[in-house]
Chains A and B, each alone.
Chain A
Amino acid sequence: MTIEGKRPPAHGRVADLVDVHSGEISREIFVDEAIHKQELENLFPRAWLFVGHASQVPNPGDYFSSWMGSDPVLLTRDDKGQVYVLLNSCRHRGMKVCRYDEGNTMQFTCPYHAWSYSIDGSLVDVPGDLHGVPHMKSAYQGQLDKAKWGLVRCPRVYDYKGLIFATWDTEAPDFLDYAGDFHWWLDNLADAFDGTEGGTEVFHGVLKWRIKSNWKFVSENFLGDTYHGASTHASVEAVGIGPGGKGKRRHGERQNQGGFSKGRMKTSFRLGHGASDNLDYELPYPEFAEPKLTEYFEKAWEKRAEKLRAEGRPLGGRGPATLFPNMSFAAGFPRSILVAHPISATETEVWRWFLVDKDAPDFVREWLRQYYMRYGGPAGMTEQDDMENWDYATQASRGVVARRFPYNYQQGLDREQASDLDRAVHSDHAIAGEVNARAFYQRWTEYVDNLTQDQLRELASVDERVERIREREAAAAAAKEETE
C-alpha cells in the first residue's frame, strides 16, 4: 500500500459561490472552514508563493523560517551558495526541526529523537538529506534509506532578483509564465530606486501579527482597492505622515502632477494578479521636507528614467499590487512586501518586510526606516485602520443570515478597458473599479476547485474580457454608424 500522497475526499464546487459576471461573491468564501480547507489543499500547494528575500540568507548555512500555506518551511543556503526551501518537519514523528526565526547552521537536529539533516553537500548528496540517525544499526539494521527520508524539499524554487518564490507542484508553470506581464511590478519592487536591477535588500526584522480575518481580505485590499483609501485612511490623510512632512499627502505625491489619481487606471491580469496602477502611470519620486532627500531621489529618478527609456522599459507600475494568491507589495513610498499566511477561515498571520537600496546612504536608509514604521504594520498609522475594517467585516459576515447575502463587486462591470499587456485589462476609473478583484476570485475558484494545471493553463491562455471589450467596441461603432 502506498501512503504517500493519500488525501481525504474533496467537497463541493466554490465556482458556484463566485459570479464575476453579475459581480456577486458569497460571503461563505471568507468565513467557511470547509472552503478554507479546500484552499489549503488545492490552492496553496499548487501556486507560487513568496518565501523570503535572498538578503535574509546571505551566507552558507543561513536560514530563515517561513510558511507556505499551512506548512512551515526553512529557506536555507547550502555550502555552495544555493538556496533551498525545506519542509520544517522531521520525517520520523513530524517535530519541527527548527523553531528559530533565523540563524546559521549546517545541520538541523530534531529535538525529539535526534534525526539530523545536513545542508552540507560534502556530507550528503542533496542538502536537507538525512545524515544522522541514533541507533541506526540496532533500530534499522543499518537499512534505513537516508536519501528517501531527508527533509521534504520544495521541488521548485525561483530567485527573482532576490525575491525567493517556491511551489510544491512539479506541474506548475515556470515562475515567469506564472507571473506573466505582472513581472514589471516585481521589477520595480526588486530594482533599486535608480533602476539598478535587483539592487535591493530587506531591513532586518519582519513584522508578524495576527488578524481575525480571512487572508483574501488582505490580498484584495492591495491588488486594486484604491476605493477604500478616502474613508479608511481619512485620519492618517488628515495628519500627513509622508515625505512632504506634516499636512502633506500620505505618499508624498507632488501637487503639480494633478493629484494622486489622475491616469492611475488599475491593471487586472487573467492570471489573477492585480495592481492599483498601470505602466503608463509615471509618478516621479516625491518632494521631501528635507532638501537633501529631494535631491537624492531626483537624481535617482533621472538615472532610472534614462536607463529604462534607453531599454524601452516602462516607468510606471509601483502598485500597491498582489501576486496571486497572497503576496502583496508596494514599490514606491513605502516599498514593502506583505504575505497573508492563512491560519483558519477567519484568522491570518500577516508578515511585512521592508526593502531598501543596497547602496543607500545612511541618511536615506534611516529616513525610509522611520517612514516605513510609522506607515505600515500593526503600529503603522495607515495600516492600523485596515485591520479594524477587515476584522469587523469578518465578524459581521459570520452570521447565519449575513452569510445568505453576497458581497458586491459590480464597480466597472462591463466597462473594462483594453490593455497593451498580455491577457490584461484596465479599470475605466482610478478609484472606482473592482475588475481586479473579480479576476482574482475567478482564478481563485479555478485553483480551489482543483482544476488540473493543464486546465488552469488552458483557461488563462485567453482573456475573455479582452474579447468582450472588442465586441463592445464593435457594437458601439456599428450603432454610431447607424445613427449617422
Chain B
Amino acid sequence: MSTLSEHEGTPQLVNESGLSKADLRDLLADVSDFLYREADLLDERRYTEWLDMLAEDYQYSVPLRMNVPFSDVVSNEDTKVGAEVCWFDEPKSTVELRVIQLLTGVHWAEEPVSRVSHLVTNLRLTRVALPEVEVSSRFLVYRNRVSDEIDILVGRRRDVLRQDGDEWKLTRRTLLLDQSVLMAKNLSIFI
C-alpha cells in the first residue's frame, strides 16, 4: 500500500473501517485541511512546525521516471523505492538534516530564499483503515527564484496519514514526478 504506481490502476476506495458516506466526507474534509495546512507551512518556510506534522516513521520517496516500451511500463517505468536510485527515498531523520541545512543561512541553493507554492488537488481517499488513511492527489509545485528562474514540478502523490489522538501525522509520502530528465537545476525544496 505504501508504494505509488499508477500502473496498478487508479485505486477504488477500500473502506476497511466501514465508515458511512457522511463519515467519509467528514474524513476527507479533515484530511484535506491537514494537507493544505501542511502545504502552507512549507511555503511559509515554517519548517520546525512542518516537521511536527511528520510521524517519526515518516518516509519520503520520489522515484526516477524512465522512458520504457509500453510492455515494460509496469516493471520498469519508475525506479524501485527501497532498492534503486531515486530523487528522494529517505526517512524523517534525513528530512530533518535538510531542514537544518535550509536554516544555516549559507545554503546557497536557497539563499536568497525561493518563492514556492504547493498546489494540492484531485484529493481522494483510497484506503480507510483507521487509524490510517491513504490519500491520492496531484501536486503542482511552483518555484520562482531570484528573478527569472521558474520551475514547475507536477505529478501524482500518495500520502498515508495516521491519526494520533486528536491530530493527524503524515507517515508516508510518495510522489511520481512527471519528468524523466529533471528540468530544474536542483531539488533544494521539498516537493
Residues 80-110 of B contacting A (Cβ, < 8 Å)? 80, 83-90, 94, 97-98, 100-101, 104, 106-109
Is the pair B85, A354 in contact by a Cβ cutoff of 8 Å?
A: yes
Interface string of B160-191 (1 = CB under 8 A from A): 00000000000000000000111111111000
Residues 42-64 of B contacting A (Cβ, < 8 Å)? 62-64
Is the pair B108, A205 in contact by a Cβ cutoff of 8 Å?
A: no
CB contacts (< 8 Å) of B186 on chain A: these are 209, 378-379, 383-384, 387-388
Which interface residue of A208, A235, A370, A383 has the most chain B CB atoms within 10 A?
Answer: A235
- Assess A374 versus B90: contact at CB under 8 Å? Given A239-B97, A387-B109: yes
Rounded to whole angstroms, the CA-CA distance of A65 and B68 in the bound complex is 11
Choose from B79, B94, B98, B107 the contact partner of A205 (Cβ within 8 Å): B79
Nearest-neighbor residue (CB-CB) of B148 within chain A:
A395
Is the pair B187, A208 in contact by a Cβ cutoff of 8 Å?
A: no
Q: Does A212 touch B at the CB level, under 8 Å?
A: yes
Q: Does B16 touch A at the CB level, under 8 Å?
A: no
CB contacts (< 8 Å) of A102 on chain B: these are 66, 68, 76
CB contacts (< 8 Å) of B181 on chain A: these are 208-210, 349
Is the pair A208, B109 in contact by a Cβ cutoff of 8 Å?
A: no
Q: Does B8 touch A at the CB level, under 8 Å?
A: no
Rounded to whole angstroms, the CA-CA distance of A99 and B107 in the bound complex is 37
B186 vs chain A, min Cβ distance (A): 4
CB contacts (< 8 Å) of B89 on chain A: these are 369-370, 373
Q: Does B69 touch A at the CB level, under 8 Å?
A: yes
Q: Does A234 touch B at the CB level, under 8 Å?
A: yes
B84 vs chain A, min Cβ distance (A): 4
Residues 368-407 of A contacting B (Cβ, < 8 Å)? 369-370, 372-374, 377-379, 381, 383-385, 387-389, 391-392
Interface size class of B (residues with CB under 8 A): 35 or more
CB contacts (< 8 Å) of A232 on chain B: these are 108
Is the pair B68, A238 in contact by a Cβ cutoff of 8 Å?
A: no
Q: Does B3 touch A at the CB level, under 8 Å?
A: no
- Assess A209 versus B104: contact at CB under 8 Å? Given A203-B84, A373-B85: no
Q: Does A330 touch B at the CB level, under 8 Å?
A: no
Is the pair B86, A234 in contact by a Cβ cutoff of 8 Å?
A: no
Q: Does A43 touch B at the CB level, under 8 Å?
A: no
CB contacts (< 8 Å) of B106 on chain A: these are 234-235, 238
Q: Does B67 touch A at the CB level, under 8 Å?
A: yes
Rounded to whole angstroms, the CA-CA distance of A99 and B180 in the bound complex is 12
Q: Does B72 touch A at the CB level, under 8 Å?
A: yes
Rounded to whole angstroms, the CA-CA distance of A199 and B183 in the bound complex is 34
Q: Does A241 touch B at the CB level, under 8 Å?
A: yes
Q: Does A206 touch B at the CB level, under 8 Å?
A: yes
Nearest-neighbor residue (CB-CB) of A391 within chain B:
B185
Q: Does A100 touch B at the CB level, under 8 Å?
A: yes
Which interface residue of B85, B89, B94 has the most chain A CB atoms within 10 A?
Answer: B85
Residues of B at the A interface (CB closer than 8 Å) are: 62-64, 66-69, 72, 76, 79-80, 83-90, 94, 97-98, 100-101, 104, 106-109, 146, 180-188
10 A-B residue contacts at CB 8 Å?
A: A100-B67, A101-B66, A206-B64, A235-B107, A238-B100, A369-B83, A378-B184, A378-B185, A379-B187, A387-B186
Residues of A at the B interface (CB closer than 8 Å) are: 65, 99-103, 203-212, 232, 234-236, 238-241, 246, 349, 354, 369-370, 372-374, 377-379, 381, 383-385, 387-389, 391-392
